[in-house]
Amino acid sequence: MAVALFFLTLATPIAVWQLGTSDPYRFWLNEDTTVPLRVWYWGERTAVEKEHPQRIRICGTPRVVLADPSHTQFRMAMVLSGGGALDGIRIRMRTTEHDVLANGRNGITLTLDRTGTRIMDGTTLLAQTDTLRYEPSQSLRIAFEHEGMETRIAIGCSVFGPFRTGHPATSQTIIEPLGSGGGCVRISDIVAEGVSP
């Protein structure tokens, strides 16, 4: 009994530490691969659910950050499939969550909604089309690549860019569902690989 109490006493600070730092708002995707992706978000705890090592489900409009901790120049691909309550999705690249919130640096922004697709560099429109739209229940593959000063974006079979930009390459990709908050989007087959060491 005394031994058990002794170990309970010693285990308490460790348990407190483990519980206190096991932030459910942070988790990993592709953790068994050579390019694991760190995910974090703010908002409702249940807004983001990890369904699979390569798949998450986002409900509502939280800001979800995917980060490749070991690369800033990488290519990433994912498949989006959202519900009817969602108006679209916005992906911010070449910026960080802190830069967006604190400094208003939006980087390169890809907005895909029911009216079309817009790619912006800050306030400068880089590309726009109304033939590629967000359509509920339609899976859409999005890929992008950051190398040096250039970013290429592929949506379905359409390729945009390369866009030359002055924004530094960062390890983060920020995903923001658009809408009034009632919709969900599933992002699957999320993969990344570095293009430069």
Burial label, 72 (beta-carbon count in 10 A; 0-12, 13-18, 19+): middle
Among residues 111, 117, 170, 173, the one that binds other proteins under rule CB under 8 A: 170
Per the CB < 8 A criterion, the answer to whether 54 and 188 are in contact is yes
Taking alpha carbons only, the member of 86, 72, 73, 153 closest to residue 120 is 153
Q: What is the DSSP letter of 165?
A: -
The reply to whether 3 sits near other proteins by the rule CB under 8 A is no
CB of 106: closest distance to other proteins in angstroms? 15
Amino acid identity of 120?
Answer: M
Query: What is the size of the binding site for other proteins (CB under 8 A)?
Result: 35
User: Measured from the CB atom, is 52 or 98 closer to other proteins?
Assistant: 98
Dihedral (CA of 39, 42, 43, 45) sign: positive
Region 129-168 residues binding other proteins, contact defined as CB under 8 A: 148-149, 168
Per the CB < 8 A criterion, the answer to whether 147 and 140 are in contact is no
The reply to whether 123 sits near other proteins by the rule CB under 8 A is no
Q: Three-state SS for 50?
A: strand
User: Measured from the CB atom, is 34 or 197 closer to other proteins?
Assistant: 197
The reply to whether 104 sits near other proteins by the rule CB under 8 A is no
The reply to whether 21 sits near other proteins by the rule CB under 8 A is yes
The reply to whether 28 sits near other proteins by the rule CB under 8 A is no
* Contact set with other proteins (CB under 8 A): 5-6, 8-10, 12-13, 15-17, 19-25, 42, 45-46, 69, 72-73, 96, 98-99, 102, 148-149, 168-172, 196
